[in-house]
Amino acid sequence: MFGDSGELRLRPKAFELLLLLVEGRGRLFSKDELIETLWPDTIASEDSLVQLVSDVRAALGTGASDIVVTVPKRGYRLGVDVDAAHAAKRAHEIQYADSGAVRIAYQVVGDGPIDLVYVPGWVSHLEYAWESPSVARFYEGLAAFSRLIVFDKRGTGLSDREFGLPTIEERMDDVRAVMEAAGSKEAVLLAVSEGGGVAMAFAAAYPECVQALALYAVYAKREWAPDYPWAPTREARQIFYDKIQNGWGGPVGVEDIAPNYTGDEAFCNWWATYQRRSASPAAALALARMNVLIDVRNVLPSIRAPTLVMHRTGDRDSHVDEGRYIASRIPDAEFEELPGDDHLVYAGDVDEIVARVRRFAQRKASSRHR
């Protein structure tokens, strides 16, 4: 309804809700009216309506609370005209950056004064990520204070996949290509999990492009060594490879990366679909094997960007001592230990992580331009 270039991906019931609000041209719809209209032959609760509103806002993206407006104790109304809603959705359009012969899919969300480039973990999918309320909340929180630039690394999601296993140098060049395509000369890099190796290497190689570096649940090496004893052993990695080989299509690894969500059927279903859309079984296995080649320990002392390292105490996928190790070797890095044992950045207390990144990014951006 917003045109071909700004198509919304909504479940049928969520689409019905948004259509009602648009056709109402800003009039207030009471909660009872919406429930009776949307579920005419079913007993539905106010919680069902609240979840539906959340789904619509997640699809609309940044500024959605100003588009679908909550009127306390009364109901909901459309807060902007259709053209404004269309403009808000356009921020989520997929664009492509050329990195040599490879095309890298990216999105720009928000228009804040700080450019923030999010470097994702193992696999990702730009469009389907927004289907998760937790991911949408995470992205919207970041975009509230920045111009957020998110992308799918080569080999995953909507980026080109058929170019063999990428080296860390190629992935670094993909970050550079995305920044250039998005018109960003200098940015704060926020990296999670496997994306940390790329971000740390990029910060060391291109100091002029990195305003600051925020790291969450990252590691410097992905296979056990006597001088790096926290990484998984070769045997532990083989167990993970077997899970991919035999279980791809289900919520692989959720018990380690999001243990508090193993009983959440909706999250597990989303995670399984997210993985399937992000990579084929063979690609997922190949990328997992490639991760054992990551070793950026030697570049840590050469990083000059202000750095924040965040790590949850009970992280089962990446040990908290890995975060401490990285922070101790990057000059003047700050280390913040967070409670919890979920590895995924958008599991657990998402708002707390966003708040810490915001304070750090704003403080470093301000000091850099004095």
pLDDT, residue 298, reads 96
The count of other CB atoms within 10 Å of the CB of residue 322 is 22
pLDDT higher than 50, residue 89: no
Interhelix angle 12-23/31-38, rounded to 10 degrees, is: 130
pLDDT at 312 exceeding the cut of 50: yes
* Beta strand extents in the chain (DSSP E only): 29-30, 68-71, 75-78, 95-99, 102-109, 114-119, 146-151, 187-192, 210-216, 307-312, 334-338
* Contacting residues for 176 by C-beta, under 8 A, at least 6 apart: 99, 202, 206, 209
For residue 1, the model assigns a pLDDT of 38
Q: Are 322 and 296 in contact (CB under 8 A)?
A: no
Summarised one tens digit per residue, pLDDT across range 112-138 is 999 999 999 999 999 899 888 889 889
pLDDT single digits (tens) 38-56: 887 677 788 888 888 988 8
For the stretch 96-109, pLDDT in tens is: 999 998 999 999 99
Report the SS3 class of residue 158.
coil
Q: Give the mean model confidence (pLDDT) for residues 357-369.
A: 81
CATH fold for domain 4-89: Arc Repressor Mutant, subunit A (1.10.10)
pTM: 0.76
pLDDT confidence band for 25 (50 / 70 / 90):
low
Q: Report the pLDDT averaged over residues 189-208.
A: 96
Task: Give per-residue pLDDT as tens, 326-338.
Answer: 999 999 999 999 9
CATH class of 94-368: alpha beta
Query: Which two tokens mark 74?
Result: 């009364």
Q: Tokens standing for 69?
A: 């407006």
Residue ranges covered by each domain of the chain: 4-89, 94-368
